[in-house]
């Protein structure tokens, strides 16, 4: 009987976890992420900007964000801690590569927007 209860509890936990994975995203790229990028990043990471010339990274569209830099991706969908975009704006990297350089840092709420968007799959929504 105890084994059956443990199995059922494990099954219920798995169902609850699976249900949580299928919920709708809470962060929209267009409505939530793009305004943050426009405020803090686009000045340097747009066509001809210093950041674009140095790294190849542009933030003018979903496609450009997902294209990453000349060295590779900036966003790993579903994994903010492996995403350089999040790590750089969250100050989880060495000082010389923290972003933004010349502008005000993102607020904790703005960092959460970026982190949540990536965790929810970095969708073009």
Secondary structure of 51-113 in HEC code, one letter for each residue = HHHHHCCCCCCHHHHHHCECCECCCCCCCHHHCHHHHHHCCCCCHHHCCCCCCCCCCHHHHHH
Q: What is the dihedral of CA 5, 7, 9, 12, to 10 degrees?
A: -140
Mean pLDDT calculated for residue range 40-60: 96
**pLDDT band at 102, cuts 50/70/90?**
confident
Give tens-digit pLDDT for 66-101: 999 999 999 999 999 999 999 999 999 999 999 998
Which helix (H) or strand (E) element contains residue 23? none
Q: What are the residue boundaries of the structural domains of the chain, listed by start?
A: 26-119
């Amino acid at each position: 009987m105890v084994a059956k209860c443990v199995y059922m509890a494990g099954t219920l936990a798995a169902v609850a976890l699976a249900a949580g994975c299928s919920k709708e995203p809470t962060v929209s790229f267009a409505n939530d992420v793009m305004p943050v990028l426009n405020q803090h990043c686009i000045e340097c990471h747009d066509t001809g900007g210093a950041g674009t010339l140095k790294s190849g990274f542009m933030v003018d569209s979903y496609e450009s964000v997902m294209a990453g830099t000349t060295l590779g991706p900036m966003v790993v969908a579903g994994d903010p801690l492996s995403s350089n975009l999040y790590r750089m704006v969250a100050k989880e990297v060495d000082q010389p590569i923290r972003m933004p350089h010349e502008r005000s840092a993102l607020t904790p709420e703005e960092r959460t927007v970026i982190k949540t968007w990536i965790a929810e799959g970095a969708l073009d929504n």
